[in-house]
Structure 1
Amino acid sequence: MSDGMEGRIGHGPAAASLRIALAGNPNCGKTTVFNAYTGARQHVGNYPGVTVDRKEGHLELEGRSITLVDLPGTYSLTAFSQEELVARRELSAGNVQAVIDVADASALERNLLLTVQLLEMGMPVVLACNMMDEARAAGIQIDMERLGQFLHAPVVPMIAREGEGLREALAAAVNIAGEGRREPLRLSYGPDLDTALLELEQIIETAGLLKGVYAPRWLALKLLENDGVILREVRAADAGTAARLEAVCRKTAAHIRDTFNAGTESIITDHRYGFIHSILRDGVLDRDPARDRLALSDKLDRVLTNAFFGPLIMLGVLYLMYQITFEVGAYPQGWVEDGFGLLGDFFKDVLPEGLVSSLVVDGVIAGVGGVLSFVPLIMIMFALISFLEDSGYMARMAYMMDRVFRFFGLHGASVMPYVISGGIAGGCAIPGAMATRTLRSPKEKLATLLTLPYMTCGAKLPVFLLLAGAFFPENAATVMFGIMLAGWIFALVVARLLRSSIVKGEATPFVMELPPYRMPTLLSVLLHCWERAWMYIKKAGTVLLAISVVIWAAMTFPSLPEEAAAPHEARIAALEGRLEALPAGAAEREDVEEELARARDAFGEEKLAYSVAGRLGKWVEPVTRPAGFDWRTDIALIAGVAAKEAVVSTMGTAWALGEQDPDDAEPLAERLKSDPGWSKATALALMLFVLLYSPCFVALVVIRQEAGNWGWVAFSILFNTALAYAVAVGVYQAGRILWA
């Protein structure tokens, strides 16, 4: 941990382990706090039964083993989103002994709403006022001791990025964890609601309803807020008591509606904020009137989110990302390619010629190596995306895109699923599909779900990087930028088509908080970059390795019959004999070498064509030929339905099997460029086809989970592939004329 915390950890006998939760609003710096505490000792997965990220980290403090649980960022503990529900369940399960509530000190009033709800649950809470440097710069002073007295909870100032206050907050959490659940915070919600709350509490306590799970008063509050999840739990626990409680809630809700023309939930929220206002005004918060918090963030937003300049700047930022990726990444990519080339040469030398050598060199190294060679470029892109996320600019992009999204029948919140899926390249459709759970409207969710596979996900990037670099070397960044924009354009146009036909429905309003601009910490950027790159590497070393071996087998068996192979072998042997007989400087030698290379290519191609994969590719080729795809490309596209990364690995294997000269092992890009069947038109058509056609198998499974039936999965496969085919044919035919 930063600030030398690890060096001060004790080494005495370990006491019982603790589970401490890390809670906070989005953009409060909670991720920085979690990374600072746990570093590389993190485990990332999903909460059981849901698709929200679950992060846990392990550390020790003075011999005490601590598991830190990073709860999803949430503004409250209602049940309006998956994140809120998951956070509430984790806290109420009884597995967490204390909570460190990370609050943005420069926006304390808003952040304290979550704090109040945690205290109403009876959770032992440490309030960590993070980003104190920003608060001070904005002229905000906070009396920590006085705030702690009002909340009856420890309050600690913190600047997580500099390590300030981290140890103090953790030590306070460990201290209060041993005290167990606290007496819940009891606020007054006015005479009408207070009377109802008292009646509900008495019924709950008498019945022992959900005892040990929820505090009676908190349970009563949730029932008055008409919380559907809590109501279902109450009915399941005791149907008779639930009926009595619901009768009280209905009577109270009707009275509040008639008296105040408002719902009980809004009245409860108003009183919570009233409590927060009162304590902040009572000597806790002091603002310097001479220092306006418009400061840097608001001044920057005047330009960066300007109706005219904002979108232009955003496009410039995205283009710059690609330019940096290609310019900086070209060197390490070349090193990785050379490394795999040397590895292939090594195994060719040490393994006897035959099936084992072919499997290792042509199947594993050519397949997986072709994908891993793009890791440096992808790491650079992930680092840049992480910088945009942590700096606060990503939220501005979503805000600006909402203006466009509404025109196409989508919600502004659809921006984040698109971005996560690869809207800025390098994402993944799987978490993108999961992110659609934040959309309240089922119709908007479905339209987003069916169109987000058009984004330039990390699995498609190797294809785009390969072809853009090979066929458009002078304009690779421009082509990549254009492919990304094409994904957005197709997604929006198809969404408009869907929202006007089979998924009609009313639009819902968009509300989003714009966090202040911050300079991301190097540790946070590197950790995000490593997490995503490691997932990519792990997939290449597991799923793609298996796919590469299966594809190699499909491309190798059955073997070409001896009678068909004999003429090729005889011709190759004759040419090798002629070559050996010629002196080193003979002019004829170059012609014989070229003829020998063509003979080997012809032999390799015929063997590949005779295999299972070759026959399948040949069968499909008449259909795809108008799009410029030959049978070897078709094999790669079929493999891409399993995983899009397999497109490059399969092409690497296919062209490796077609090139048998051990002294002339070219990178895949060079082989494609020298293939007479390939051109700029072919490359562009293939990039657009890969961009648009059927999502990968795992993404289809997640779409099924989120959409609710297999019909939409079939639609996604058939419609997307038909659209991809039509676009590829049009682009290829137009390209042949343009580049003739």
Structure 2
Amino acid sequence: MKDSLSVALAGNPNAGKTTLFNQITGARQHVGNYPGITVDHKEGKATHNGHKIIVTDLPGIYSMTAYTAEELVSRDYLVNERPQVVINIVDASNLERNLYLTCQFMELGVPIVIALNMMDVAKDRGIEIKADRLSELLGVPVVPIIARSGMGQEELLDATIALAGENREWTPRDISYGEDINDTIMTIIDLAAENDFLTEDYPPRYTAIKYLENDEQIVEKGRSTNPGMADKLEAMVERVSNHTMKTMEVYPEAIIADHRYGFIKSIVKQGVITHKFDADRLYTSDKIDKVLTNRLIGPAIMLLILLGLYQFTFSWSEAPVAWLESFFGWIGGLVESTMPDGLLKSMIISGIIDGVGGVLGFVPLIMFMFFGIAILEDSGYLARVAYMMDRLFRIFGLHGSSVMPFIVSGGIAGGCAVPGVMATRTLRSPKERMATLLTVPFMNCGAKLPVLALLIGAFFSEHQARYMFIFTMLAWVVALLAAKILRSTVLRGAPTPFVMELPPYRFPTMRGLLIHTWERTWQYIKKAGTVILGISILLWALMTFPGLPEQQSARFEQNRQTILAAHPELEEIKASSGIEKLPATSRQAYTELIRIDNLESEATLRNSFAGRIGTTLEGFSRFAGFDWRTNIALVGGFAAKEVIVSTLGTAYSMGNVDVEATESLSQRLQHDPNWNRVAAVAALVFIMFYAPCFVTVVCIARESSWKWAAFSIVFNTVFAFMLATLVYQVGTILNLG
């Protein structure tokens, strides 16, 4: 046995896999992405009876046929990494459906231990499962557990360590698929074994089954490995497919699925399950769903829950956000008073403290938002949202499965467009997938959340939760309208059917909620301390250089020296407090001195590389109410939307050199004549809908093509600017500012 046991957790979505992972590993875990694919990769460590265990949490999947990124990742991990044991988490209250994936693990030959989870839910439904009998019939260890409470965890780890100690070879389980399929499987097995066809990765029987299921990844792999053999196998599969279509009007993959379920039923009926209650009895989850997913009441409750989430987020985060703003203001004042003037001081204050500090100031708000979303997710309610939204999505030519990519992207503010784009892989229809892929960036992702919070807090502070709710609804409406336009023009076609299973409701565990909240918050903090820091410093440089021409700078200095010559007492006052003790003429001179400093700072910023870009764009951006400073921030937002906050912080701090002023960014915006409520709403509309961030654009290109990625940038930006211009012009005419 190795020094550390390698164990993978695998199972259906909503089977309690992540809850078990959190129970086993606690805080000893980290999150990354699988190479080349934006799918969560969680790995943690555990110790049990002196054995060190490395636990990898695979994505939740229903099948091992690689249609989605999650299925592809799970199978590749098992084949390439070869964990010593796979703990297969099975929902005891939905045993037959969950055992379908178990069958596929057994066909691959992986050494598995079945964690029979949610025994309490099964008991409440009157379902009694004999774990020993199930273990005997399947030939694998079966351990009853309740992941959320930790019941059975010790026994599960004991069974895992015992199985790993046996050092079993991967032995595929044979399941009969009927005469036609079995004959073809045996022929393919012989050919694969004789020619070493994919045998390094898969057992020959598994390769045969995957060819019959028309598994695109394995078929493609076969073509690149041995084209001649691949052609033979594909021709063989085509013959048997034609035969089964003529005789039974089904393809081989459907026959294989039917026989797997038949195999499962034959096991379950051999004394594994007994039902104490009438099969027609409504379970607690069903009773709740009669209300929460009701055609009329359900959507109203959903909107109230969303509004409640924002109310909770803003009310609880208000004090800590204000405290952090004061903290970063204090740090800036400390640096201002202790460091000598120069470029280094300017970079630290304007580039780092006002830039990154502006983003980090919203960490409490982000944390509370993620905590609320984790409750909705872990309780099973988000699945109901997807179910209810399917009816609406059909009107706009989308599929019910499009709902989750929208939610993941920030449909409930705080997601990310990158995994949202990746999640569109679950859509079978190419046109529905493309329409979803192009519109999910319209959602209010976690990167846009600080910008929304900043502008809403500055101009609509009395009703922050209400306005956040309104802008979230606006994101959905605009995204669906854009999808309808796409589905009615370049992506025309009929919607495909939607089938979704609703998981039972559960009480989330505090430990699970805290872990989920911290994981997402840490990703935000890490981004602020790396990507945003780098971009903020780069933008500070663009806003600093090349500086003023020497002649213009000399004029400002001459005006300053003229005032100081007439009022020498201001030399000391400039670096300290106490102007209220001066006579009126000295106070007026001090005000003029500050005005000159501000004019020089603004002139320097205008003459910088970034200032020139912002000023050039102002020729047409003024129709939407954007001044040159705002343009600089919006250009920076093409890299990452959080940069908008940090760039505004930098741009406005570089124009404010009064050491007496310790205003926050929101206060500076309130006092700026270029900003008002109408301008703020226009800016919010533009920021919500213009081009996706750079990483999302790259992801769109990978999932489709660079042509569609370029289309996304141009279409979104033009569309957003037209909306923002409409809002600003109408709002100005109606005098709503």
TM range (shorter): over 0.9
Q: Tell me how far apart the structure 1 counterparts of residues 206 and 342 of structure 2 sit (CA, whole Å).
A: 71
Q: Name the structure 2 match of 1:4.
A: none
Q: 1:696 to 1:232 in 2, by over 3 A?
A: closer
What per-residue deviation string (whole Å, max 9, x for no partner) do you get for residues 213-244 of structure 1?
32232222222223333333334444454444
Worse-superposed segment, 310-319 or 243-252? 243-252
The 5 Å alignment of 1:376-415 reads 376-415=364-403
Pairing 1:263–2:260 present: no
Counterpart residue type for residue 102 of structure 2:
T
Q: Tell me how far apart the structure 2 counterparts of residues 492 and 119 of structure 1 sit (CA, whole Å).
A: 43
Residues 15, 63 of structure 1: 8 Å contact kept: no
Worse-superposed segment, 375-384 or 198-207? 198-207
Counterpart residue type for residue 346 of structure 1:
L
Worse-superposed segment, 486-495 or 64-73? 64-73
Q: CA deviation at 1:307?
A: 0.7
What per-residue deviation string (whole Å, max 9, x for no partner) do you get for residues 333-374 of structure 1?
011111111111221222112222111112210111011101
Q: CA deviation at 1:430?
A: 1.5
Worse-superposed segment, 398-407 or 287-296? 287-296
What per-residue deviation string (whole Å, max 9, x for no partner) do you get for residues 572-626 of structure 1?
6479757769772867787666555544433322232222222222221121112
Q: Tell me how far apart the structure 2 counterparts of residues 597 and 48 of structure 1 sit (CA, whole Å).
A: 54
Residues 568, 603 of structure 1: 8 Å contact kept: no
What per-residue deviation string (whole Å, max 9, x for no partner) do you get for residues 220-271 of structure 1?
2222223333333334444454444444433433332233222221122111
Q: Name the structure 1 match of 2:332.
A: 344
Quick one: which of 521, 526, 531 aligns to 2:509?
521
Counterpart residue type for residue 715 of structure 1:
F
Quick one: which of 492, 504, 520 aligns to 1:532?
520
The 5 Å alignment of 1:39-54 reads 39-54=26-41
What per-residue deviation string (whole Å, max 9, x for no partner) do you get for residues 499-554 of structure 1?
11122233222121111111111122112211111111111111111111122222
What per-residue deviation string (whole Å, max 9, x for no partner) do you get for residues 352-407 of structure 1?
12222111112210111011101100111011111111111111111111111111
Q: Tell me how far apart the structure 1 counterparts of residues 124 and 155 of structure 2 sit (CA, whole Å).
A: 23
Pairing 1:98–2:85 present: yes
Counterpart residue type for residue 318 of structure 1:
L
Q: Secondary structure at the match of 1:660?
A: coil
Pairing 1:730–2:726 present: yes
Q: Name the structure 2 match of 1:221.
A: 209
Q: Tell me how far apart the structure 2 counterparts of residues 173 and 69 of structure 1 sit (CA, whole Å).
A: 14
Pairing 1:631–2:628 present: yes
Pairing 1:604–2:639 present: no
What per-residue deviation string (whole Å, max 9, x for no partner) do you get for residues 35-60 of structure 1?
12222222322223333322222223
Q: CA deviation at 1:282?
A: 1.4
Quick one: which of 29, 33, 40 aligns to 2:16?
29
Q: Tell me how far apart the structure 2 counterparts of residues 571 and 424 of structure 1 sit (CA, whole Å).
A: 58
The 5 Å alignment of 1:467-478 reads 467-478=455-466
Q: 1:401 to 1:589 in 2, by over 3 A?
A: farther
Quick one: which of 157, 168, 173 aligns to 2:155?
168
Pairing 1:128–2:115 present: yes
Q: Tell me how far apart the structure 1 counterparts of residues 64 and 438 of structure 2 sit (CA, whole Å).
A: 30
Q: Secondary structure at the match of 2:384?
A: helix
Residues 38, 418 of structure 2: 8 Å contact kept: no
Q: Name the structure 2 match of 1:678.
A: 675
Worse-superposed segment, 511-520 or 161-170? 161-170
RMSD of aligned residue pairs (Cα, Å)? 2.2
Worse-superposed segment, 178-187 or 77-86? 178-187
Q: Name the structure 2 match of 1:488.
A: 476
Residues 125, 277 of structure 2: 8 Å contact kept: no
Q: Name the structure 1 match of 2:220.
A: 232
Counterpart residue type for residue 542 of structure 1:
T
Quick one: which of 550, 554, 558 aligns to 1:563?
554
Quick one: which of 682, 686, 690 aligns to 1:689?
686
Q: Tell me how far apart the structure 1 counterparts of residues 697 and 199 of structure 2 sit (CA, whole Å).
A: 42
Worse-superposed segment, 473-482 or 206-215? 206-215
Q: Tell me how far apart the structure 2 counterparts of residues 606 and 522 of structure 1 sit (CA, whole Å).
A: 53
Quick one: which of 674, 679, 699 aligns to 1:702?
699
Q: 1:350 to 1:121 in 2, by over 3 A?
A: same
Q: Tell me how far apart the structure 1 counterparts of residues 378 and 502 of structure 2 sit (CA, whole Å).
A: 12
Pairing 1:309–2:297 present: yes
Q: Tell me how far apart the structure 1 counterparts of residues 25 and 356 of structure 2 sit (CA, whole Å).
A: 32
Q: Tell me how far apart the structure 2 counterparts of residues 576 and 689 of structure 1 sit (CA, whole Å).
A: 48
Counterpart residue type for residue 557 of structure 2:
A
Q: Tell me how far apart the structure 2 counterparts of residues 62 and 583 of structure 1 sit (CA, whole Å).
A: 72
Pairing 1:83–2:70 present: yes
Counterpart residue type for residue 446 of structure 1:
M
Pairing 1:283–2:274 present: no
Q: 1:139 to 1:292 in 2, by over 3 A?
A: farther
Pairing 1:544–2:523 present: no
What per-residue deviation string (whole Å, max 9, x for no partner) do you get for residues 266-293 of structure 1?
1221111112112212111111125866
Q: Tell me how far apart the structure 1 counterparts of residues 374 and 157 of structure 2 sit (CA, whole Å).
A: 27
Pairing 1:711–2:677 present: no
Q: Tell me how far apart the structure 2 counterparts of residues 206 and 558 of structure 1 sit (CA, whole Å).
A: 71
Q: Secondary structure at the match of 1:58?
A: strand
Q: Secondary structure at the match of 1:486?
A: helix
Quick one: which of 225, 234, 238 aligns to 1:250?
238
Pairing 1:115–2:115 present: no
Quick one: which of 451, 458, 464 aligns to 2:452?
464
Worse-superposed segment, 366-375 or 622-631? 622-631
Structure 1 unaligned runs (5+)? Answer: 1-13
Structure 2 unaligned runs (5+)? Answer: none
Q: CA deviation at 1:555?
A: 1.8
Counterpart residue type for residue 617 of structure 1:
G
Q: 1:517 to 1:593 in 2, by over 3 A?
A: farther
Residues 563, 589 of structure 2: 8 Å contact kept: no
Residues 571, 599 of structure 1: 8 Å contact kept: no
Q: 1:172 to 1:628 in 2, by over 3 A?
A: same
Q: 1:243 to 1:542 in 2, by over 3 A?
A: closer
Q: Tell me how far apart the structure 2 counterparts of residues 475 and 261 of structure 1 sit (CA, whole Å).
A: 60
Q: Secondary structure at the match of 2:271?
A: helix
Q: CA deviation at 1:122?
A: 1.4
